[in-house]
Structures are given as structure tokens and as C-alpha cells.
Amino acid sequence: MDETRYHVDSLAAFTGELLAAAGMAPAKAEAVARLLVQTDMLGRHTHGVALAPLYVEQLEKGLMTPDGEPDCLRDTGSTIVWDGNYLPGLWLVERALQLGLQRIATHGVVTFAIRRSHHIACLATLVKQATDRGCVAILMTSDPAFGFVAPYGGREPLLTPNPFAIGYPGTRTPVLVDICASITTVSMTRQKAATGEHFEHEWLLDGQGRPTRDPRVLEQTDPRGSIMLLGGLEYGHKGFGLALMVEALTQGLAGFGRRDSEKRWGGNVFLQLLDPEAFAGREVFLAQMDHLTERCHENAPLQDGVPVRMPGEQAERNMAAARQAGVRLAPLTVQRLSDAAGRYGIALPGTT
């Protein structure tokens, strides 16, 4: 597949201009654009700038709030509950991160439950903001308005993929774990459906509960199919348990969920920041986790010459490559960006 590369700064400027033209407040547009480009730099292309045209559509339809502040429903100092009013999710979570990092020295642990955020895109990009400041971050999200994943033993889509991430600092690179309770994501499934591709493995169930590689069953058949839980047919109870954990922390703690949700694209968020200094200490934390990383690297590899790789190490290499050679975008993403930008008379940035 042919791909085009764009300079990091010019792509971020273009994306911010596009979002602002669609109505998003300039400061929020800058933050969202910067984080989307960082996501592409990490190598998570389904959750990077490819989302910008979708966000533009949400702004145009009045389904993403372009400006304003979250409503604070409760604040104990170490626990905060916000109503996000469907503000841009990347900006909203970054705002929570900034506030949490301000309070972390006082409280040691700061936890947010946010209801009615808009989509928060790539979780690894967000937790990295905390690891770069020496903190541990746990982040989860679910969308109570929609269902794409059936509960274990069922065949009707009810849950969302319910991604969750943990990031922790290391001496050389942070460890960034970003996974979900389902085998694949809605964005990846939609991308494959749009390009006519099938998955390599049977990662979905059709409307009758039969395993399939066809991504179209998720939204283009009646009855709709669903994405398999992590663990598949044999061990999907493990993914089901993880999904329920995310639902409890994102919806139960926020006091807003499937029993009363509005049918619009958004998300509930759980964010927890932990300062290692408030526990056994920052130095001993780094010593312990660096030792674990070394032991993993020294582990005998399954394939000669392919050592164990810690989550986040490839992302660091991808970011370095993107700074030097530019951010690569797939043709479908470029076309969708061009279509959205054309409505506002904005030109795509030059390629590298």
C-alpha cells in the first residue's frame, strides 16, 4: 500500500486548522491535533489523524461541543468527578492530566471519573504525558451509548471494546501498555470494511454467533455481528472480566452508564495518576522496573535474533523515525482529510 509522509509540525498545524475551521475552539483544536499527530508518530494510525475527518463531522452535526469547560460534580482533592459535556476527549483528558499532575505531590494518588467525554482516541498517547513526568498512569474508557462486543456466551453486541492502558516510567524508555477487552477495535474493523479487506483470523462473530473474518458483519448485516472478546471462543471469559472492570470504573464511578446513556458518540473515562515517591520512592521504583525490563530482554527468545520487546520500545523508535522522515499516512486517510479540508478551502500540507 502506497503511503505519503508529512512533516510533524506541518501536519499538526494543518489538522489544528481543519478542526478550528469546523468550529472547535483554537486552543482545543491545537491540543487535539498535536495529540493525534503524536499518535501517528507512535505508529497507532487507526487512532491518529485518520480520526480528524470524523471529528469534523461530529462538530458539523453539533455532536462534539466545540468550546467550554467540564462541569465539576465532585472534588475531594484526590478524587474528581467531571461531566465532560461532550467536549473534545483528547483535550479533556489532557486537562485532567495537567490538574492531576499539579496535585500529585500533595495527594500521591489522584483519580478522575469523567462522564460524557467525547472520544479520547489513543490511550497510550495520553498516559505517556504522565510517564514523561515520572508518574504512573492508568487510563480506561467505554462508550455507554453503543455496543460492538457481545458478553461472553452471548451473540448480541452490547459492550464496547473498552480499552485500558497503563504507563510507567523507566530509566531509558517508559513502558506503555495499551490494550482492550476485545481482540480488535472498532476503528480497525471499520478500516478493513472500507478497504474491502478481511481479517487474517476469525476475530468477529456474525449475527448468528458464528466466527468470521469478514469485518462487514459488525455494521453492515442484519442482525449485526460483534467483535470477539479477548480470548476468543475458548477463553473469552477473561476478556469479559476485563470489560466489566472497565465498565465499573468508567461508568459506575462516574454515575452515568448504559441505563441512562444518550445515543451519541462519546465516552466515559477513568484516569488515575500515581506518584512512585508517595510509595516506596521513585528511585527504588525505577530500580525495580528497570531490573524487570532487563530480565525480560535477557529471556531466551522464541525466535533467534528477535529478543523480547517491552511495550513502548517500538513506539519510541517510531517517534524518532517520524521526527526525521515524517509521519506516514495511508491513501484512504489522505483522501478523507482532503475531502474534509476541501469543504473549508484548506490545502493539505506539503509532503516530505
Place of cell 520500545: 313
- Rounded Cα distance, 285 and 174, in Å: 13
Tell me the CA end-to-end span of the chain in Å, nearest whole number: 18
Amino acid (one-letter) located at 81: V
**Taking the domain 1-67+325-352, which CATH number applies?**
1.10.1530.10
With beta carbons less than 8 A apart as the criterion, state whether 81 and 53 touch. no
Q: Which tens digit of pLDDT belongs to each residue from 133-169?
A: 999 999 999 999 999 999 999 999 999 999 999 999 9
Strands (DSSP E) contained in 108-161 are: 109-117, 136-142
Q: What does the pLDDT profile of the chain (352 residues) look like in tens digits?
A: 467 899 999 999 999 999 999 999 999 999 999 999 999 999 999 999 999 999 999 999 999 999 999 999 999 999 999 999 999 999 999 999 999 999 999 999 999 999 999 999 999 999 999 999 999 999 999 999 999 999 999 999 999 999 999 999 999 999 999 999 999 999 899 989 999 999 999 999 999 999 999 999 999 999 999 999 999 999 999 999 999 999 999 999 999 999 987 899 999 999 999 999 999 999 999 999 999 999 999 999 999 999 999 999 999 999 999 999 999 999 999 999 999 999 999 999 999 8
SS3 content of the chain, % helix, strand, coil (to 5): 45, 20, 40
What residues does 137 pair with on adjacent strands? 167, 273
Q: Which tens digit of pLDDT belongs to each residue from 265-319?
A: 999 999 999 999 999 999 999 999 999 999 999 999 999 999 999 999 999 999 9
- Rounded Cα distance, 313 and 298, in Å: 15
User: Which of 298, 321, 324, 322 lies closest to 310, judged by CA?
Assistant: 298
Strands (DSSP E) contained in 169-298 are: 175-179, 204-205, 211-212, 226-227, 267-274
Place of cell 487512532: 47
**Residue ranges of the chain assigned to CATH 3.30.1370.60:** 70-182+231-298
- How distant, in Å, are the alpha carbons of 138, 191, 217 from that of 186? 22, 8, 12
What pairing do the DSSP bridges indicate for beta strands 136-142 and 164-168?
Answer: antiparallel
- Rounded Cα distance, 160 and 157, in Å: 8
The predicted structure's pLDDT at residue 1: 47
- Rounded Cα distance, 160 and 265, in Å: 12
**Taking the domain 70-182+231-298, which CATH number applies?**
3.30.1370.60
Q: What are phi and psi of 177, to 5 degrees?
A: -100, 120
What is residue 315's three-state secondary structure? Answer: helix
- Rounded Cα distance, 10 and 349, in Å: 6
User: Which of 86, 151, 146 lies closest to 120, judged by CA?
Assistant: 86
**Residue ranges of the chain assigned to CATH 1.10.1530.10:** 1-67+325-352
- Rounded Cα distance, 344 and 33, in Å: 17
- Rounded Cα distance, 118 and 128, in Å: 20
* CATH class for the region spanning 184-227: alpha beta
C-alpha cell at 212: 468470521
- Rounded Cα distance, 213 and 198, in Å: 5
- Rounded Cα distance, 48 and 167, in Å: 19
**Residue ranges of the chain assigned to CATH 3.30.60.50:** 184-227
- Rounded Cα distance, 343 and 8, in Å: 23
- Rounded Cα distance, 129 and 94, in Å: 8
Place of cell 512512585: 276
Query: Counting every residue, how long is the chain?
Result: 352
User: Which of 86, 99, 124, 129 lies closest to 267, judged by CA?
Assistant: 86
The predicted structure's pLDDT at residue 352: 83
